[in-house]
């Protein structure tokens, strides 16, 4: 085993000290008000679930297929607005409002969910076939093309849907809150539902990538497309299907996020950035890494908003980038990243 360079060792020791200080500080705050600590922790977990659903599609497209899709956040945003408009049409505009003040029928939520996810999945497929299929491996060109697409989508969303943030109404069959039997906490049920969906998505993607012929072909095709094509496999069809799934997951995240938080024009850049952070922290192409990255991002985001000293909570976003720097200082390829 090779010795760790002194500079690297010093960086790791410094990071360890910083993490120890943060743990002691948060632990002190938790002991002072354990009820708030539990609620904030649950907020972080449910945020992590939402981040994972969105980032899992980005992991499939960018991390695994090596396609730089900078319009992934736009697909998230677009799905939220599609579902919102469809729900308004189904309910006569009466169901959509701030979360918890109004409810929709189960069909008034499920139908917009399915339609929006399929529509966004097809838009992603068209984008891949028309703009990205012919420049595989040309990352800079892909980035510029998808940035242009995201700008066009943002302008069209503003022109057709407006810039006011709204909420999708949750199904009326869902309870508003559930009792956790801990510190008399009643927690929003839909946030727990999002976490359960994220777990289901993670298990389904893991099974698809690791246990099916389709996943094996995708992984092999990224490494050696000519070899896979020589075996008589239509690699372009496989890649198109994988891109469709990734865009579908962005749409699923958009509808879940639109119900849990809001449907907002600024969601495109926000969730693209979150997806990039999750993939970079976890490592390119690693589903387990995406889960750990989403969990770290969600907890840092939630705890930073509450436990930073008074007057500094507006700077909680800086903690996210500090997390990114800390991880890359120790693991330049991400927690589960491997050399290409």
- Inform me whether the pLDDT recorded for 219 exceeds 90: no
pLDDT at 98: 44
Distance separating alpha carbons of residues 195 and 271, to the nearest angstrom: 17
How many angstroms separate the Cα of 325 from the Cα of each of 162, 280, 322? 36, 10, 5
Per residue in 313-340, is it b (16+ CB within 10 Å) or e — as a string?
A: eeebeebbeebbebbeeeeeebbbbeee
pLDDT at 183: 77
pLDDT at 110: 93
pLDDT in tens, 158-213: 888 887 888 898 888 888 888 887 778 889 999 999 999 999 999 999 999 888 88
Helix 34-58 to helix 267-282 angle (10° resolution) is 90
Structure tokens at 39: 């609620």
Structure tokens at 202: 């993670």
The mean predicted confidence, pLDDT, of the chain is: 83
**DSSP result, 242-257:** HHHHHHHHHHHHHHHH
Distance separating alpha carbons of residues 295 and 12, to the nearest angstrom: 21
Element (H, E) at 103: strand 103-104
Q: How many CB atoms lie within 10 A of CB 29?
A: 16
Q: Show Cβ contacts of residue 57 under 8 Å, excluding neighbours closer than 6 positions.
A: 72, 245, 246, 247, 248, 249, 250, 253
pLDDT at 1: 45
Per residue in 234-252, is it b (16+ CB within 10 Å) or e — as a string?
A: ebeebbbebbbbbbbbbbb
pLDDT at 13: 67
Of the pLDDT bands very low, low, confident and very high (cuts 50, 70, 90), residue 109 is very high
Q: Work out the widest C-alpha separation in the chain, in whole angstroms.
A: 68
How many angstroms separate the Cα of 335 from the Cα of each of 104, 265, 282? 41, 32, 5
The CATH number for 33-330, chosen from 3.40.1000, 1.10.3470, 1.10.10, 3.30.310, is 1.10.3470
Nearest of 76, 55, 18 to residue 277 by alpha carbon: 55
List beta partners, residue 28.
none
Distance separating alpha carbons of residues 87 and 100, to the nearest angstrom: 16
Determine the average pLDDT of the residues in 13-35. 68
**CB of 96 closer than 8 Å to CB of 87:** yes
**CB of 273 closer than 8 Å to CB of 321:** no
Q: Show Cβ contacts of residue 31 under 8 Å, excluding neighbours closer than 6 positions.
A: none
Enter the DSSP assignment of 263: B
pLDDT at 30: 67
Of the pLDDT bands very low, low, confident and very high (cuts 50, 70, 90), residue 48 is very high
What percent of the chain clears pLDDT 70, i.e. is strictly above it?
Answer: 84
């Amino acid at each position: 085993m090779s010795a760790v360079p002194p500079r690297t060792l010093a960086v790791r020791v410094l990071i360890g000290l910083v993490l120890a200080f943060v743990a002691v500080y948060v632990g002190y705050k938790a002991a002072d008000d354990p009820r708030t600590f539990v609620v904030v922790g649950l907020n972080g977990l449910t945020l992590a679930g939402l981040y994972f659903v969105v980032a899992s599609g980005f992991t499939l497209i960018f991390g695994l297929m090596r396609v730089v899709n900078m319009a992934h956040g736009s697909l998230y945003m677009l799905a939220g607005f599609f579902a919102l408009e469809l729900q308004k049409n189904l309910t006569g505009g009466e169901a959509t409002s701030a979360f918890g003040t109004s409810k929709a029928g189960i069909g008034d939520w499920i139908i917009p969910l399915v339609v929006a996810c399929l529509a966004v999945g097809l838009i992603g497929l068209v984008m891949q076939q028309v703009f990205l299929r012919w420049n595989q491996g040309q990352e800079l060109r892909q980035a510029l093309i998808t940035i242009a697409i995201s700008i066009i989508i943002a302008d069209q969303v503003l022109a057709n849907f407006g810039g006011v943030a709204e909420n999708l109404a949750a199904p009326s069959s869902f309870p508003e809150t559930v009792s956790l039997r801990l510190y008399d906490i009643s927690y929003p049920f839909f946030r727990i539902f999002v976490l359960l969906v994220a777990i289901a998505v993670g298990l389904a993607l893991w099974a698809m990538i690791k246990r099916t012929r389709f996943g094996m072909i995708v992984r092999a095709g990224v490494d050696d497309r000519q070899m896979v094509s020589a075996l008589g496999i239509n690699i372009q069809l496989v890649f198109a299907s994988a891109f469709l799934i990734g865009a579908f997951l962005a749409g699923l995240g958009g509808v879940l996020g639109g119900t849990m938080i809001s449907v907002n024009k600024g969601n495109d850049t926000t969730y693209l950035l979150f997806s990039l952070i999750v993939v970079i922290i976890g490592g390119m192409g690693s589903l387990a890494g995406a889960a750990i990255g989403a969990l770290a991002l969600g907890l840092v985001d939630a705890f930073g908003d509450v436990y930073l000293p008074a007057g500094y909570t507006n700077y909680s976003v800086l903690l996210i980038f500090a997390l990114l720097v800390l991880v890359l200082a120790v693991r330049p390829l991400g927690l589960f990243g491997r050399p290409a």
